[in-house]
Structures are given as C-alpha cells and as structure tokens.
Structure 1
Amino acid sequence: MRVPILYEDNHLLLVEKPVNIPVQEDNSRDLDLLNLLKNEIKKRDKKPGNVYLGLVHRLDRPVGGAMVFAKTSKAAARLSDMMRRQVIERKYWAVVHGVPKQKEQKLTHHLLKNSRKNQVSVVPSTHPEGKKAVLNYRVLASQNGLSLLEVTLETGRPHQIRVQLSALGHPLFGDQKYGAKLNKVGQQIALWACALQLEHPTKKEPVTVFSQPPKAYPWHLWALESFK
C-alpha cells in the first residue's frame, strides 16, 4: 500500500491516510499506518536501524485524509504541545443525512467512551466521567437528502464528529455505528480530514496541506474544489 505524501522534510511528515486502516496497531493485528510509514521510510532511505516517527493525533479507522507525524523527538514534543493548545487547525468535510436547521452552529456535548465496545455516547454535563466536546460546523451544500458540512474541532475526543452530528439528528452517511437506522452495511463513512494547517516546529513557518476525498458517492455530488 502506497500512502500519498502531502509534505515532508527532516522534521515533519504529512500524509493522506487511506480509509479503513488503523493509525496504530490494535487488537485486530491488521496493518497499521504508523508501522507502514516506518517501513516505507526505512526502505526508501536505506536506514540501518529503527525509524523514529512520532504519533501526535489520530483519525478513526474508517476515516481518511490529512495527518501529521513527527520525524524527530523535538518536533514530536512541539507538535504535541500545539495539539494541547489547539493551535493546529484541522478541517473536515462530512456528508450527513438531512439538512441541519442552522447553517452554522457550535455544538457542545459531554461524551463518555465505552472502551470495551469502542463506542461513545452523549451524557449529561453532570456525569463525573463525561468529557466536554466542542465542534463547529457550516453547511456548504445540500442535495439528494444529504448535506455537505465543513467541520472544525475545538476538542479532540474519540468519535467526536460522528457522535455529535448524530446527536444533532444528522448522522454521517455510511456510519453504521452511530447511524445504523439510515445507513446500509458496507457503506463507506463520509468523513474526510480535508485540510491541516500548523506552524512548522523549527522553521516557524506556516505549513498547509489539502487532501481530496475520492471521487465516489456521495462525494461526487459536489464540486469539492470550490469549497477549498
């Protein structure tokens, strides 16, 4: 499997994550993105020892799009700090069922993860284990009973976009976990990390990459280039 490289230098590696591959090794023992990239770099650069690649954020297994990895420990520390301070801008496109009443909205929920089932639910704000989740969405277009949203995150909780949009009454197209009543088994979830912008950890220059979803249903309903 070849992973498209969006940007690379001595400190950073930004790639386009393929869909349906875990970011790091899990119980499935399936090929994961982190080890795949390490092996590719080792082979490409003919490195004799282990390859360092720092994981600073994640995407759900079925989700594709732009991701950043650190190639040095210095970059990893600085990128992790940027993530904590929420200064790395991550933009997503999401196709949901229906048309949200509000064209733009900030959603705030409290989420609880069941690690055994790998499922997240919305709980009251008073729940002692609930974690606050905040996202902003904007409706870009609607067609055929579906809407294309631009989503930005203020927090980074597991399954956050999927759960919060489902709680709004507009589950993602193809999401069997949080929209089983509207989606069919085998459909690919329509959530894509389309853009990533950050300050280079050593050069202090802006780095921006864009990742285009596949030209398949439902993405092909819209001219996505016009929404960059």
Structure 2
Amino acid sequence: MDAGEQAPYEDQPEELYERRTFTIDSGQEPMRIDKWLQQRIEGATRNKLQQSIEAGFVTVNGFGVKNNYKIKPGDHIVVLSFTNPEHTEVKPEPLPLDIVYEDAAVMVINKPPNMVVHPGIGNYTGTLLNGVAYHLLEQNPGITEEELPRYGLVHRIDKNTTGLLVLAKTAEAAAHLAKQFFNHTVERKYIALVWGDMEQNEGTIVAHVGRHQRFRKMFDAYPEGEHGKHAITHYKVIERFNYVTLVECRLETGRTHQIRVHMKYIGHTLFNDWEYGGDKILKGTIYTKYRQFVENCFALCPRVALHAEILGFQHPVTKESMFFQVPLPDDMRLVTEKWRAYIKPVG
C-alpha cells in the first residue's frame, strides 16, 4: 500500500494500524524528521506528526527519536498510522463493559456477541468503542481522539465473535501495543466449533487471506499468494463430536475473517457461520431427528461459534508479561455440551 493510500474498512486486518517504511536516499541533505515526513505522507499535519513521534509511532533504525532529529542517508524509518478511512465520530455512550483488567495504560475487555467493535456505516451507536469513549471520558474529561486515536483501539474482532480485546489508554501505550501486533508477539488463542471430524490432531494453515473475487463482502484463501495478505493459523483439536470438532486456533497473523476463511479452506467451516455456509448441515446423517438436533443447536448458538479465549502481551509501561483467559460464553458452552451428550453412548 502506498504512503497516501487507504484500503476500504472491510479490507483492514484485525490490527488497525498500518506500517509505512522509508529508506533515506544517499543524496539526502539533513532535515528534521517531522518536516521530511510531512512532505511524503498525504494529509499529514506537522502537529499530528510531532504527536506521533513523541508517542513512539515513528522509529528510526529501530529506535524512537525526537521531533528535532535530523535524518541522514541510509536511515530506515518506520511509521505506524491509524487506518480510519470513514472518520466516523465516536459518540460516548454509557454502555455495559465487561472489563477484565484496567490500569493507567491499558484495559482488557471481554466482548459479548452481537456487538460491533467500532462505529462505521450502519453502526454509528451501540458499539464497544462508544462505551469505551464514555468510560475514558469519565476518568479524564479532557481526553480527545486527537491525542488518543479511536480511544486506544489497536485491534478488533468480528461482531459475532466473543472474547478478549486490549485497548490503550495513552498514545504511548497504543504505539507500544501496535508494534507488538506487527511483530507477532501478541498471544491470541481462539476456541472454534467447526464442521467435520478433523483428520489431524494439530496443524498449521498457511494461505493468503483477501477479498473474495466474486462476493466482495466475503474473504477467501489464496494458497499461492496471488491475492490478499500473508496469513498463518495454528490449530489443535480439543474434543471430537463425530460430526463437529472443538478446536483451538492460534493466530500468528491477524487478517479479517482469518480463522473463518482458513478453516473453510481446509474443509472445516465454522459451525453456524452463515457468511461461509456453516449455517447448513455440512456433516452427519439424513435423518429428521438429526436435522432437528442441529437446528436446535443453531438456535442455542445463533452466531458463528468463535471465541477469543486467550490474550497475552507485554505491558507497554511495566514490560511485564500479561496473560488473560476468559471461559466460553453460555451459547458456545451449551451447544458444546449438547453435542457431547448427543454422541455419548447409551448405557
């Protein structure tokens, strides 16, 4: 992606920052870094760049610098910038938030199903970020999106996926967390119920994930890398129920719909994932009793069966290793118990 180019919202990966890199030419005269970047990043203001540099969103040769740093030939510059093409205003709303952990720098939230993470077309209110904005403004009435873009959001999960999200409460913390996501040092494990009895107990899926060539609201796997972005998912079987399997998925990269697309690619579409065909009976018998059982399961868990169970990262201030785990929400727990009982031998 070019320096001034932004992809549509749906193309953004789970990480909501993009990385731009520059290498200074051999003939470049010394120049302040903020001034040099302003000339090369479309729409960037000097003030905004200075705030980004101070917060640590800009590094030179791997290290943070001051605004008055003068670039020199051979310097390698990395700029992290928030990708927000819609520029939708975040209206603070008093919404219930399941806050798992919070301190002066970060907050970890357990997101419920059917909640969009941040405002966009068709979802301007009632999102998790509307609630976060209200929460942060109660603590610090002077905070603005200018100083803390998107109120510290550095990654996201789908509307119907439940589980853990980390948000930054300062620009410095946001920069630190964004770098961890780019460097793939954040630990993220999901629990998914998928169709079919998986052949292998564990494995790794490597296939680019990008927009579907025909159905533009969907994504697809491109194993040859001809489209999309590099994506890696590691999986491990937790429990087998003959027709469906409970699996653990560990993300090495964070692409939109990555787990859903990767599991479908290997023939194991997520249970009740209507966008990718998982809301139909893909494995099992033809008997009416079985069909009724599956339909009852769909009603019990009326969403894609995917939960962000584990989140681990380095604290941006203390540098301590932080680890969080939340249990399956009731809908996934109950549907798992129902499948377990269904295959249990009689007597």
Fold equivalence (TM over 0.5) = yes
Q: Percent of counterpart pairs with the same letter?
A: 34
Q: 2 CA distance for matches of 1:182 and 1:167?
A: 17
The corresponding residue for 2:122 is 28
Judge conservation of contact 1:95–1:218 (CA < 8 Å) in 2: no
Q: 2:164 matched to 1:49?
A: no
The corresponding residue for 1:118 is 217
Aligned length: 220
In structure 1, list runs of 5 or more residues that go unmatched.
Answer: 224-228
Flag as ranges the 4+ runs of structure 1 deviating above 6 A. none
Which of 65, 70, 78 is equivalent to 2:176? 78
**Residue deviations 1:117-137 (CA, integer Å, cap 9, x gap):** 32101235251x332211000
Q: 2 CA distance for matches of 1:179 and 1:155?
A: 24
Judge conservation of contact 1:143–1:221 (CA < 8 Å) in 2: no
Which amino acid letter does the alignment assign opposite residue 25 of structure 1? P
RMSD: 2.3
In structure 2, list runs of 5 or more residues that go unmatched.
Answer: 1-94, 282-294, 341-347
Q: 2 CA distance for matches of 1:94 and 1:85?
A: 25
Which amino acid letter does the alignment assign opposite residue 49 of structure 1? G
Q: Which has the higher strand share?
A: 1
Judge conservation of contact 1:213–1:219 (CA < 8 Å) in 2: no
Q: 2:96 matched to 1:2?
A: yes
Q: Equivalent residue of 2:224, what SS?
A: coil
CA 76–99 in structure 1, closer or farther in 2 if over 3 Å, else same: same
The corresponding residue for 2:10 is none
TM-score (norm 1): 0.88
Larger Rg: 2
Q: Which has the higher helix share?
A: 2
TM-score (norm 2): 0.59
Q: 2 CA distance for matches of 1:48 and 1:12?
A: 17
1:175-186 alignment runs, 5 A limit = 175-180=273-278, 182=280
